[in-house]
């Protein structure tokens, strides 16, 4: 009997993030309330982080909102962002680090596998690095597994990829 599979992953498209940052930067430069605030948004692709900086917390909050709006417009899920604490920087300015979710952490992957096993669906789930592979004989059961995972909030953004029937 052939095996059908799909992968549960959590990845953010860095190109879309980069485009959203460019759009947000343009808006920050033209907005009157943010003039002379020395606000900036930088993407560090190697570390999957965004660095936000501004002259005070209120302006930093505005920068965060602008970035959030641009990310949503470009289809980047806000659930995939983890905001760090606001820290003071030089010249009485503040900065904040935002971590981009790339891959599912081991404990979240274990939660996903446990949820699938507890559901008593006739599928197998296994952790494969930073993703979870779900396999079963029946496509309909795989569809039920996807619906089950979509219904439960794991606190991360999940995509379902590599849907295959062999």
Domains of the chain: 4-10+104-165 (3.30.70.860), 14-100 (3.30.70.990)
Q: Report whether pLDDT(129) > 80.
A: yes
Q: Tell how many helices (H) and how many strands (E) occur in the chain.
A: 4, 8
At 10 the pLDDT is 86
Q: How far apart are CA 91 and CA 118, in angstroms?
A: 54
Task: Please provide the average confidence, as pLDDT, over all residues in the chain.
Answer: 86
Q: Which residues contact 116 (CB under 8 A, 6 or more apart)?
A: 123, 125, 134, 145, 148, 149
Q: What proportion of the chain, given as a percentage, has pLDDT over 90?
A: 5
Q: Report whether pLDDT(147) > 70.
A: yes
Query: Exposed/middle/buried for 80, CB within 10 Å: 0-12, 13-18, 19+?
Result: buried
At 166 the pLDDT is 59
Averaged pLDDT, 18-46: 86
Q: Report whether pLDDT(1) > 60.
A: no
Q: What is the pLDDT of residues 52-76, one digit of tens each?
A: 888 888 888 888 999 999 999 988 8
The structure's pTM equals 0.76
Q: Report whether pLDDT(2) > 60.
A: no
């Amino acid at each position: 009997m052939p095996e059908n599979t799909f992968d549960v992953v959590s990845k953010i498209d860095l190109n879309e993030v980069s485009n959203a940052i460019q759009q947000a930067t343009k808006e920050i430069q033209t907005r009157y309330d943010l003039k002379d605030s020395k606000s900036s948004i930088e993407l560090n692709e190697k570390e999957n982080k965004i660095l936000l900086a501004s002259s005070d917390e209120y302006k930093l909050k505005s920068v965060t909102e602008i970035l959030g709006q641009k990310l949503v417009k470009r289809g980047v899920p806000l659930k995939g962002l983890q905001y760090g604490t606001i820290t003071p920087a030089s010249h009485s300015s503040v900065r904040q680090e935002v971590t981009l979710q790339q891959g599912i952490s081991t404990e979240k992957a274990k939660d996903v596998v446990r949820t699938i096993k507890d559901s008593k669906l006739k599928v197998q789930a296994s952790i494969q690095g930073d993703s979870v592979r779900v396999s079963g004989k029946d496509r309909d059961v795989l569809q039920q597994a996807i619906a089950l995972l979509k219904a439960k909030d794991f606190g991360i953004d999940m995509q379902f990829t590599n849907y295959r029937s062999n």
